[in-house]
Amino acid sequence: MEHVPKIKGISRKLLVALYMAKCQDLQINASKQQMIRFFEMVMKNHLPGSRKLNLADMGLGDSALLIVAKILKNNSNWALADLSKNIFTSAGLKALASCIQKSNETLVHVNVGGNHIQTDGAQYFFKCIEAHNSLISIDFSNNDCYKNKVKMGTRGAECLSKALRNPNCLISNLDLTDNVFTAEALNHVVEGVKKC
């Protein structure tokens, strides 16, 4: 534990677990040098006093998202969570959404753009955040439009529309840049935005 830095809002135990989960997701062996480098990257992204959990572009997959959910659970330190440009799928997003729905009322922005999110993950996420008490901004953008990683589909767009129409929904900023929508899916999103 001597090499594990102190970061407000992330216990040392969870920081080590996050690194180990990342290794599991990438199917690589853990090494002390790589762990220290990972910790340095995390430290660089977390300035003292910042309320942004910045884990963007760190190779985090579904196992790592289970740890991120534990970091966010009942944690009032974070207002923003940037998990963009990682490798998690709908399974990881579902773990995150459950955590946000049940045990975090301080997040105002979540960025999950540029991950491997499919329709089922988008549906689950939007159902979970439908009446969230603090979330006002979501980034579901596709950061690499040539790979089309985020594929929320028509059913995902339907769930988003329903969430936006919920009178308790606070979402006022939504980034869906470079998602591929059918005309039907786009109509769902437009109807939700109109009622928002």
Return the CATH number at 88.
3.80.10.10
Q: Is residue 190 part of a domain?
A: yes
pLDDT (tens digit, 9 = 90+) per residue, 84-102?
999 999 999 999 999 999 8
Q: How wide is the angle at C-alpha 87 spanned by C-alphas 105 and 186, nearest 5°?
A: 70
CA dist 130 and 50 (Å) reads 27
Domain that holds residue 57: 49-195
* Residue 3 belongs to some domain of the structure: no
Position 12 in a domain: no
* Residue 2 forms part of a structural domain: no
What is the pLDDT averaged over residues 52-70?
Answer: 96
Angle at 124 between CA 121 and CA 130, to 5 degrees: 135
Domains contained in the chain, number: 1
Please check whether residue 94 lies inside any domain of the structure. Answer: yes
Read off the pTM.
0.92
* The pLDDT value given to residue 47: 82
Quick check: is 188 in a domain? Answer: yes
Say if residue 195's pLDDT is above 80: no
Please check whether residue 149 lies inside any domain of the structure: yes
- Indicate whether 44 belongs to any domain: no
